[in-house]
Structure 1
Amino acid sequence: MTLPQTPTTKSSSSGWLNGFIGVLIFSASLPATRLAVREFSPFFLTAARASIAGLLALCLLLIFKEKPPAKHQLGPLAIVAAGVVLGFPLLTALALQYVTSAHSIVFLGLLPLATASFGVWRGGERPRPAFWFFSVLGSLLVVGFALSQGLTASPAGDLLMLLAILVCGLGYAEGAKLSRTLGGWQVISWALVLALPLMALLSWFKAPPDFTGITAPAWLSLAYVSVFSMLIGFVFWYRGLAQGGIAAVGQLQLLQPFFGLALAATLLHEQVSPLMLGVTVAVILCVAGSRRFSR
């Protein structure tokens, strides 16, 4: 079913709900990747997660007897595959060899701006000027909070993370635009299937010579980024972007670092500072402001 270019109030609300679920799922991606690259090479991790997700996506497409995408949809699907199946996972995995997952918060704060910018370019959206004010303010709050934690800079890691944010923003915007006609879960599924031959071949050549020394946390991290980060999260995310607007719903990514911190506090019993709570509340207000002036 084709979604309208300008979402109705009902579809917009559904879009924000789906986007919120997607962000929750993505919140554990970078910590899980950080844990996995301690025992897997970045190239194997990227290829393996895409191959596992690609096989699952192929099963879904066959079960539901989905028609293959049209020829004019193959180009956009290739952009999605290059951005979120190969580019972002590989670049972040390489970057997390140089920086901590906490350091990546600096760059996650820029992802909503990147997504909104590509949404204007590729999706034809035109948010109001006030939207950009709240978007920039929210990004600065996240980046400022991350820098206040005394993060150590790494030129190589920072460059890789910056490139990762750019290709991810493009992949998000292109996938959301395509979801309006192809469907949310179909977009990520066909993108994974399109990349499957290359990813399977790369998995074979980059596999560790011996798997006996791989610990359970590394396997669990690989399973999470394969099933949730690479497939299930995108089902909700692309549907949300298509329903609620790329630029608007994309601002929910400002909350992703704080979801990760909340997860750490809950599961690892790490301390949550008053500053963290204050910045979180301010970011939530920025997200609300972005939604209010997104159209």
Structure 2
Amino acid sequence: MERTRNLQGLTPERNLSGWINGFIGVVIFSGSLPATRVAVLEFDPVFLTVARAAIAGLIAVAMLGLLKAKRPERRQLLPLLIVALGVVVGFPLLTALALQHVTSAHSIVFLGMLPLATAAFGVLRGGEHPRPAFWLFSILGSALVVGFAVSQGLTASPEGDILMFLAILACGLGYAEGARLSRTLGGWQVISWALVLSLPVMAVLAWFCAPASFAGISPPAWLSLGYVSLFSMLIGFVFWYRGLAQGGIAAVGQLQLLQPFMGLALAASLLHETVSLGMFAVTGAVILCVVAAKKFAR
């Protein structure tokens, strides 16, 4: 027991701090899809993606400089690039494109697959060998989400559902890689350096993709851009990766299961979108499958 505790570096104080930081991160992330939904009504999805990354990247440069963070080693550059492709570019772009076709309430159901995707990529990257029951619940959870999409009528927006599914895969890979890297590089440094690596390309693209005029952009759209840039792209990850490092990836990662419920509540209260009982039922069922799958992940 003592050996396990020392290997993980966990103490009751660090464990509690990890849960608190992880919970704050999940609360912040739960507002991402509703805010993105508001923003894409007036901003082009590609511009929104590169602009939020560029804004967060500039803030990350300032943070790393002021706090005199140590530069990553050469062997850490490839994992940082994977994190950047997954959570800085992939997930924001794919969700922004998807939310042109589906409501944020519909897209939030797909978040029920995010802990599963993170666990699956953790298995692949970590070389673990989960028990057969893990894959059983994984397939069941995925089937529930696909079944929900079919029940809503794929002819209505197959593009939105496919884009959300790809977004979950990209985010799961970015979460798993970032969580693994945070053990050696540090929690907030992971997302900061990933943003810095992306900044040159994102800044140039933001300049070229900017609309001819910002005169018609409403305050809610500007606030949404500010939220996804500052909170979803940077601050949320500072708390999230810190929580994973302090409390353990498997334990704190389960807090993601709260995100669909928080997101549905925001979509209903702030955007006045219809949240059906079917959405809650499917989200709850997927979460139960993810909980069961995590139990058999090792």
Q: Give the TM-score, by structure 1 length.
A: 0.84
- Compute the RMSD of aligned alpha carbons: 3.2
Deviates more, 1:66-75 or 1:122-131: 122-131
Q: Distance in 2 between matches of 1:103 and 1:240?
A: 28
Aligned to 2:108: 105
Counterpart selection for 2:42 from 33, 39, 44: 39
Aligned to 2:31: 28
Q: Distance in 2 between matches of 1:121 and 1:32?
A: 32
Aligned to 1:82: 85
Aligned to 2:160: 157
Q: Are 2:241 and 1:238 equivalent residues in the alignment?
A: yes
Contact 2:39 2:224 in 1 (8 A): yes
Cα shift at 1:212? 1.0
Aligned to 1:184: 187
Cα shift at 1:109? 2.0
Instruction: String of CA shifts for 1:31-72, please: whole Å, max 9, x gaps.
Output: 111110111111110111011111111111111101211111
Contact 2:81 2:194 in 1 (8 A): yes
Paired residues, number: 293
Aligned to 1:62: 65
Structure-to-structure mapping, 1:115-264, within 5 angstroms: 115-125=118-128, 153-264=156-267
Instruction: Give the 3 Å change call, closer, same or farther, for CA 7–270 of structure 1 in structure 2.
Output: farther
Deviates more, 1:47-56 or 1:130-139: 130-139
Q: Distance in 2 between matches of 1:106 and 1:289?
A: 18
Contact 2:115 2:290 in 1 (8 A): no
Q: Distance in 1 between matches of 2:132 and 2:7?
A: 20
Instruction: Give the 3 Å change call, closer, same or farther, for CA 287–115 of structure 1 in structure 2.
Output: closer
Instruction: String of CA shifts for 1:142-199, please: whole Å, max 9, x gaps.
Output: 7767777778742222222222111111111111111000001000000001111111
SS in 1 for 2:68: coil
Q: Distance in 2 between matches of 1:93 and 1:33?
A: 6
Give the AA of the match of 1:211. F
Give the AA of the match of 2:110. F
Q: Distance in 2 between matches of 1:135 and 1:242?
A: 25
SS in 2 for 1:66: coil
Give the AA of the match of 1:80. V
Q: Distance in 2 between matches of 1:113 and 1:285?
A: 11
Cα shift at 1:94? 1.2
Cα shift at 1:275? 7.0
SS in 1 for 2:105: coil
Unaligned runs of 5+ in 1: none
SS in 2 for 1:67: coil
Instruction: String of CA shifts for 1:78-122, please: whole Å, max 9, x gaps.
Output: 111111111111111111112221221342222221110111111
Aligned to 2:22: 19
Contact 1:135 1:290 in 2 (8 A): yes
Q: Distance in 2 between matches of 1:154 and 1:74?
A: 38
Q: Give the TM-score, by structure 2 length.
A: 0.83
Unaligned runs of 5+ in 2: none
Q: Distance in 1 between matches of 2:15 and 2:69?
A: 26
